[in-house]
Amino acid sequence: MKWRLVERRNIWWPTRFGWACLLLPTVASLLGWCICGEAFLSPTVRLPAALLVVEGWAGRDSLPAALQEFQTGGYRLLVTSGGATGGSWAVRNWNYAELAAQELGRHGLPNEQLLVAAATESDDQRTYHAALAVRRALAAQGELPAAINVWTRGVHARRSRLVFAKVFGSQTRVGVFAWSPAGSLVKPWWRSSERARAFLEETVGYGFERLLNSGRWGSGGNS
């Protein structure tokens, strides 16, 4: 018996046509996502609700439209959400929820119709901590809403809706508004560096949240 370290074996290997058949579904899926992904990540689903949650990070330019939705949509209470605006090296951090509340007050929203739900943690899983702060702020007032609508920006909408639905649980239905500046969606997303960056980040972020719960232990509402 001869001792050998290697030996020759025959294997099956795809032909060029075989490789084409194997890669075609992947290429078609990627192409379809590039064409339709932004619309998928930016749904607007308006539910009959008494509460409108406005994510403060969506920006000052989104607030007039959010206020108009609140005033015409039959809401009873507007809740601003968000965490700190700066990083750990910032000289002074502001809070998105508080900034949004101040701006909405300047636009005429009465204090009795406004609730600030400022998140204390913002370095990681910011949407989750913002949603948790909203739930706790409402619970402190004895509120257990049957439905809420979340106002956010562009391609973050589907992830925001998913996270809020996990945090609030099955007893609360969650709708969402995907706000974008007027005229910003005229050209494809790949022709805008800002939209391209947001699209790629949310592609990864939504998948991570959907498949892996963004790395949180336990369910979204109880962790």
63 CA to centre of own chain: 17
Task: Kindly indicate the confidence band of residue 44, based on its pLDDT and cuts at 50, 70 and 90.
Answer: very high
Residue range 66-83: mean pLDDT, rounded: 96
Residue % of the chain over a pLDDT of 70: 92
Residue, of 7 and 172, whose pLDDT is higher: 172
Q: Residue 223's pLDDT is what? A: 44
Q: Could you tell me the two tokens for 85?
A: 């605006």
Distance CA 212, CA 83 (A): 23
Report all structural domains of the chain as residue ranges with CATH numbers, in order of start. 42-180 (3.40.50.620)
What's the chain's average pLDDT? 91
Q: What is the pLDDT of residue 88?
A: 53
Reported pTM: 0.87
